[in-house]
Structure 1
């Protein structure tokens, strides 16, 4: 189940990583309708169209700056075609001059690459008041629309200029005389078409308000040469790139890396051995005369610590008579050491570190689980030491061995995640380029589960078989008739710590009821079991000693955690810019 959840999370993270440019740009757009203080007194566009669809353009802008703190102007191009989502018009070979001299400019993209922006001017200096002339040159391929005959539709003055334009002249040179030609201004104001020669047309206008463009449409006497198309809209360009070859290649490689991750994960799993029902815990390989404790028994089966490892271990010690549990109040408990030095030395490793962490190494020593920060700190230390020692015990006894194959797999999954995340997040390549790495992570996410990195030895599989069989005894209704609780009065209570470790205490109590027809007995090592009437048995309703003890430990741990926490804060701001045409800055 954990592997399924992790896989679903990995798939979700990958989907977000792939599509974040689309998500981020879904609601972007400018709401600024202000008029730019810089005025274009004369807008002259010179366009030359080749029969292969290449358009070479030079725009000469005569501007009047008011003398405010302006660094220059900007020009941006909308690469999308509103009438055909598969076509792109990407400006190339952009060059800019100001007053006949070179001027610095910086190119960038907005809204996931839909707009190519040229920010013209020096950020460290401002433009003086008066008249300044900018010349912007560029080329665009694939501008002749498909069809026979072909056609040319173009905005000689883009809609997005935020400056007022006092007059404009656009000259369009065709490779052959157009069969038809017309112009149109956005707001319906007039435009005049001139014909200097058979293959040239001019379009002139008077004053144009900000965000008012001029479009031309020409019929051509030849078929369109074909446009570079992409089978997706411009919003998907940051995801899929500029060519179908990019996503196709990425998907093929991703299938291979997904398979590699799945194979690696499958190789990391161990086949479950036979689990015949066992009527006692497995023997400790280090000392066959004693049983494994609850935490170690659970760890051998699942290669993970039980959720209530500390409680199960303390109850196990209490059941053996090594400690006494005394209820000090409805919420507080006192633990008292009852073992001699020799008995302490004979304890298994996990039990010994718990006793040591709680200061219970000498007979008569006590520990108060009273909800205090100090108690919580000791309990936290005991839990950490129990986990560390149990894992170390499994390796030193030869139950487990380290698996370099699985350890390397974990590292590779981590590296794949980092590389995939960087490729998707940084934006210098289409996000789908990161998919092969993400696919390996999805297939190999099972390598991140507990237990991966170690494998059970032959001895470990034998102990696993016995421990798993014992878990079956406590957690399933099978073999009820073979349990003779009457022959051993403490049989039920002695296995309670293991039932807690396996999280099947209710099932173990139900098995006792079914077998004997009676309520489970109260363990003598857990005093003051209930308050109030109507409660029967350790795991039935009411306020039980188990609940009280667990609550006491949780209260202490919570107090410690609260003392370690600290407040944090932060803030930020953000914004966006979009549009089409240009303005000043």
Structure 2
């Protein structure tokens, strides 16, 4: 279950990083608008739509500027108001200010719903008074199917069957047969976008369509609105005007076109998914292929760092001369989490130290071994004993919640780690393989790029996190112990024996039986190795399954508790073991806290066992 959660939680976080734009959509602009003080005195729009349905537009915008302004903003809604699967992205060709070139920057807003041209030099402000902007741009696929908007009411209609043109309107030809029903296609467009945050005093619009226009409908404002001024049809051209437009007031035109609606690219997903999937089916396919390739590359690179198993024939004793930390280190290439506790248990089992519980928060570690007895101790266990100064008879180390005690224990863990590494390299059991560490560098880079893509920093859609996520997840094992080192032939032989012994400790009785009846003392002798391997509870259960009685408490473990059980059979270590572990942990924790509060950066790792 724990292993499943270790995989599930990162995958859920990555999934949220990919889909958060849909899970947490961008907030709508429902607050009070802050209107732009720049006034548009004359807004002249000239639109031409070709037979392919592509639009070219020229906007000439005469403005009155107050002092201290840099320029204006032009917004385009890229989502077709009648079909959420169609995107109509503008391509700006040129922007002029008072007849000369002016800097502009193209931006996205509202989850890539609006394309924004930020027009003006950020390093200088425009003088107060009149300034004229000219914006030229193109937009593909602006002709909708003929029935689009047929049920919408407009404030004004010119032409069409059974209707007389209003005063001033020109109808140069009678309605065609097609116009007696729905036209093949329509131009349904906000010729004045509702995103202008400026007051517009007058707007003049000319729209040239690819065929003669039989009917045109126009509204000023939201809903039915009011009629446009001077709406007229002349062949393939519609003209109109509007005056006194408050900020964010659209002018909408619907004109029938006697031309089948040209094919245009639509997407299988609505606009809300654009920040996840982008605006291209081809882009999604490309990202999918890249994700597969990156995942295979990450997995293949990681697997190159793994060592082939030598096989683990069952062993009923640890490799001769090795303490519990050495046994686990050669098996896993990592210092065991419970290494310090296991080492102290190992020294106690060899009658070199005694462990005495003083109270719930203190244990005394007393040296009882004679100098000659320490001669055969492995270098890792010896490093711990020397740091705690318990190598002489009668010497005592008090493991309690004090800074001084915690400092000594923390340094003992550091010495233990160093001694294990030195033992493996000095005896040519392991060698460095630094080139394997490059996979960790690549994994870290993939993680950073994945985060950038999830937050849309430099990427157009969160789906671009997928290739980096695939590489990151499938190469994450490179952070496991052992990457960067390799066992030699001698190390592999020792690894095989250590692995076989671990198999005996950790597997159930049916697979690896152990005759406790012949040597009951071996149960307590192997407890330190089981603690180092994280298999103490399994080792105790194996004893109980074979003998039918609870695992005994070792005689070298002098707990003040009246309980006779060692406590491993329950699977949690029991109260006696917890008491010793708690004493070490609280002692190291006191030292670590003191180092953190003084910001000195020193201290050992938390946890005593």
TM range (shorter): 0.7 to 0.9
Matched, 1:316 2:346: yes
Q: Is the 8 A contact 1:19 1:239 kept in 2?
A: yes
Matched, 1:298 2:335: no
- Residue in structure 1 matched with residue 579 of structure 2 by the alignment: 548
Matched, 1:161 2:196: yes
- Residue in structure 2 matched with residue 578 of structure 1 by the alignment: none
* CA distance in structure 2 between the aligned counterparts of 1:515 and 1:231, rounded to whole angstroms: 64
Q: Helix, strand or coil for the counterpart of 2:84?
A: strand
Q: Helix, strand or coil for the counterpart of 1:327?
A: strand
* CA distance in structure 2 between the aligned counterparts of 1:191 and 1:500, rounded to whole angstroms: 86
- Residue in structure 2 matched with residue 32 of structure 1 by the alignment: 32
Question: Given the superposition, is the C-alpha separation of residues 373 and 28 from structure 1 closer, same or farther in structure 2, using an over 3 Å criterion?
Answer: farther
Q: CA deviation at 1:103?
A: 4.0
- Residue in structure 1 matched with residue 297 of structure 2 by the alignment: 260
Superposed CA RMSD = 3.4
Q: Is the 8 A contact 1:399 1:459 kept in 2?
A: yes
Matched, 1:120 2:119: yes
Higher mean C-alpha displacement, 141-150 vs 499-508: 141-150
* CA distance in structure 2 between the aligned counterparts of 1:468 and 1:515, rounded to whole angstroms: 22
TM-score (norm 2): 0.81
TM-score (norm 1): 0.84
Matched, 1:536 2:571: no
Q: CA deviation at 1:309?
A: 1.0
- Residue in structure 2 matched with residue 55 of structure 1 by the alignment: 55
Q: CA deviation at 1:20?
A: 5.0
| Within-5 A mapping of 1:73-84 | 73-84=72-83
- Residue in structure 2 matched with residue 338 of structure 1 by the alignment: 368
Q: Is the 8 A contact 1:480 1:515 kept in 2?
A: no
Q: CA deviation at 1:436?
A: 3.0
Question: Given the superposition, is the C-alpha separation of residues 254 and 183 from structure 1 closer, same or farther in structure 2, using an over 3 Å criterion?
Answer: same
- Residue in structure 1 matched with residue 177 of structure 2 by the alignment: none
Question: Given the superposition, is the C-alpha separation of residues 459 and 520 from structure 1 closer, same or farther in structure 2, using an over 3 Å criterion?
Answer: same
Q: CA deviation at 1:372?
A: 0.7
- Residue in structure 2 matched with residue 502 of structure 1 by the alignment: 533
* CA distance in structure 2 between the aligned counterparts of 1:400 and 1:414, rounded to whole angstroms: 26
Q: Is the 8 A contact 2:318 2:501 kept in 1?
A: yes
Q: Is the 8 A contact 1:358 1:367 kept in 2?
A: yes
* CA distance in structure 1 between the aligned counterparts of 2:489 and 2:561, rounded to whole angstroms: 49
- Residue in structure 1 matched with residue 154 of structure 2 by the alignment: none
| Within-5 A mapping of 1:67-216 | 67=66, 69-145=68-144, 149-187=184-222, 188-195=225-232, 197-216=234-253
Q: CA deviation at 1:267?
A: 4.8
* CA distance in structure 1 between the aligned counterparts of 2:356 and 2:138, rounded to whole angstroms: 87
| Within-5 A mapping of 1:566-585 | 566=597
* CA distance in structure 2 between the aligned counterparts of 1:3 and 1:517, rounded to whole angstroms: 31
Question: Given the superposition, is the C-alpha separation of residues 521 and 235 from structure 1 closer, same or farther in structure 2, using an over 3 Å criterion?
Answer: closer
Higher mean C-alpha displacement, 368-377 vs 441-450: 441-450
Q: CA deviation at 1:183?
A: 1.1
- Residue in structure 2 matched with residue 359 of structure 1 by the alignment: 389
Q: Is the 8 A contact 2:338 2:532 kept in 1?
A: yes
Q: 1:426 aligns with which of 457, 477, 498?
A: 457
- Deviation string, structure 1 residues 93-122 (Cα, Å, up to 9, x no partner): 343344445444333221333212222334
Q: CA deviation at 1:562?
A: 1.4
Question: Given the superposition, is the C-alpha separation of residues 553 and 74 from structure 1 closer, same or farther in structure 2, using an over 3 Å criterion?
Answer: same
Q: Is the 8 A contact 2:221 2:250 kept in 1?
A: yes
Question: Given the superposition, is the C-alpha separation of residues 6 and 451 from structure 1 closer, same or farther in structure 2, using an over 3 Å criterion?
Answer: farther
Q: Helix, strand or coil for the counterpart of 1:379?
A: helix
Q: Is the 8 A contact 1:81 1:87 kept in 2?
A: yes
Q: CA deviation at 1:480?
A: 8.9
Higher mean C-alpha displacement, 310-319 vs 37-46: 37-46
Structure 1: any 5+ residue segments left out of the alignment? Answer: 284-289, 569-585
Q: CA deviation at 1:402?
A: 4.5
Q: Is the 8 A contact 2:87 2:279 kept in 1?
A: no
* CA distance in structure 2 between the aligned counterparts of 1:516 and 1:430, rounded to whole angstroms: 63
- Deviation string, structure 1 residues 460-481 (Cα, Å, up to 9, x no partner): 4443343333334434334897
- Deviation string, structure 1 residues 158-184 (Cα, Å, up to 9, x no partner): 112232333322111223312322112
- Deviation string, structure 1 residues 133-170 (Cα, Å, up to 9, x no partner): 43333222222236783321111111122323333221
* CA distance in structure 1 between the aligned counterparts of 2:45 and 2:54, rounded to whole angstroms: 16
* CA distance in structure 2 between the aligned counterparts of 1:211 and 1:84, rounded to whole angstroms: 22
- Aligned residues, how many? 557
